[in-house]
Copies of this chain bind each other. A is one copy, B any other.
Amino acid sequence: MSGFQKKFVEEITSRDVDFAKWYTDIVKKAELIDYSSVKGCMVIRPNGYAIWENIQKDLDARFKKTGHQNVYMPLFIPESLLQKEKDHVEGFAPEVAWVTHGGEQKLSERLCVRPTSETLFCEHYANIIHSYRDLPKLYNQWCSVVRWEKTTRPFLRSLEFLWQEGHTAHENEQEAREETLKMLEVYKNFCEESLAIPVVCGQKTEKEKFAGAVETYTIESLMHDGKALQSGTTHYFGDGFAKAFGIQYSDKNNTLSYVHQTSWGVSTRLIGAIIMVHGDDSGLVLPPVIAPTQLAIIPIAMHKEGVLDAAENLASRLADFRVTLDSSDNSPGWKFSEYEMLGVPVRLEIGPKDIEKNQAVLVRRDTREKVFVSLDNIENEVATLLDNIQRDMLSRARKFLQSHTYDVTDFDKLCEDASKKSGLFRAMWCGSEKCEEKIKEHASLSSRCIPFEQKPLSDKCICCDKDAKKLVYWGKAY
C-alpha cells in the first residue's frame, strides 16, 4: 500500500470505532452529498443522485408492472385543506414549513409545503371519482417533501427529502387491504433483490402508525451498528379520508359508497440503508443491481505499449455493463482506493503481463477476492461475478440480521441485553401502549413491528405478565 493510498484510506473513521462519524465521513468522501446554507437540507451530488436514479428506475418499473400510473400534485397545501382529516393534521401540522407571502403580497391563507400529499390526492379524487368505472385509481408521484425536523442527518432524516408516494382508491375494504400488503411485498422484493438488504415485514403498533391510518405496515432493516431503520411503509386508510373529503362513487346498483384508500412510500433514506448495511472501512460497497458504475477498468503501467488499447477494447466489449475506464494520470493505487471508496462492485486490472497471458484481474469490492480470468470469456466472467456479489451481499446481510436477532422472555434480561448489545429483540407483548412506553423507558427500545410470522415465545407479555397478544420486534431505531 503506497503512502498516498494509506492516507486516503485512513481519512475515514473506522466503522467499529465511531459508527456515526464513519457514516458522515463516507457520505462526504464518496461525494454523495454536500451541506447547504439551509440547515438540514442537503445537496445530493452526482454520485448520490445516480444511486437514487437507479432506485427510481427499478422501483418505477415495479410500480408500473403492478398497474400504477405517475402523476404530479402541487407543492403547496392550503391550511384549510390540511385540516380536513383530524388525525392527519395533528400528526403533521407541528412539522411543516409555512408559506405566508407570495411576491410582495401577504397570502389570505397560509400554505404549507407538502409533508406528504394525502390531502391533495383526496381533493383530486373527490373531483374525478364518480362511478365504479373510475376505480381503482392507482397513482404514484415522485417528488420532494418537507418536514421541519430539529435533528437531521444526511439521507436518514432531513428537512427536505426525495421520495415516492403512492395513493390509491378502491371500491371496498378488501381491495384496499390487498393493495396495502401487495405494495409492502413490492418494497420487500425490491430491497432484497435490488439493494441486497433483507427486511422484517410487519404491522406497526397503534402508537407508531401513520397519522390518519387505520393500519400501517413496515419493512424494517438492520444496520451494521445494530440499529433498525424503518425503510418503507404502507398504510391502509379505510374510508376515513374519503368521508372527510367526500370521495364517493355510485356502484353497479347506483348506490353511493365511500372509497377505501391506501398510501405507501420509500425515500432517499434507502441510500442511508445501503451505506449502513454494506459499507466498510474502505468506503461504500454498492450492490451491483443498483450501482451507478458496476465495473471500473484500471490500466496498469498505462504508458507501456498496448495497455490503453487493451483497456479500451475491454471497455467496449463490456459496454452492456455500467463500465468506467479510468485512464487519468493518477496512480493505480490511488485509483484502487478511489473506486473502493465509491463502492464499485468489481475492479478490472489489465497490464502488460496480463495482456501477454491473455488474462485480466477481477477484484471484488465486497470480499476483495482477486481472480485471474481469461480474456476470451470476459463478458460471462463479469456477468457471473456481478451475480455472485449481489447474491453474497444479500446472504451476508441476512446472516447478520439473523445473528443480531434475539428472543427474550424476561423483562430484566431485555433491559440488560439491550444495554449491552444491539440488534432486534423479539418479545411477547400484551398490546397496551403502557407496556410499549415502559420498554422504551427502561430498555430504550421502540416497537419496530408486529411480524406477519407469529410464533409465540411464551404466553405472557414480557412487561406486565398479562396475556400476550403478539410477538413484536423491538429495537433502537434511526
Contacts and interface: CB of A to CB of B under 8 A. Distances in A.
Contact of A49 (B71, B98, B102, B104): B71
A478 interface: no
A3 interface: no
A244 B70 CA distance: 40
Given A43-B120, A99-B99, A120-B36, A113 B75 contact: yes
B97 A98 contact: no
A101 interface: yes
Interface in A95-154: 95-105, 111, 113, 120, 123-124, 127-128, 139, 143-144, 146, 148
Nearest to A146: B75
A100 B101 contact: yes
A94 B98 contact: no
Nearest to A68: B46
Contact of A128 (B34, B75, B103, B127): B34
A1 B168 CA distance: 37
A120 to B, nearest CB: 7
- In the complex, the 4 A-B pairs of residues with the closest C-beta atoms, listed nearest first: A41-B74, A46-B69, A102-B148, A44-B72
Interface of A: 34, 36-38, 41-46, 49-50, 52-53, 69-78, 81, 94-105, 111, 113, 120, 123-124, 127-128, 139, 143-144, 146, 148, 159-160, 162
Given A98-B101, A99-B113, A105-B148, 4 more contacts: A43-B74, A46-B69, A75-B144, A94-B103
9 contacts: A34-B128, A37-B78, A41-B75, A43-B74, A44-B71, A45-B71, A76-B160, A98-B99, A98-B100
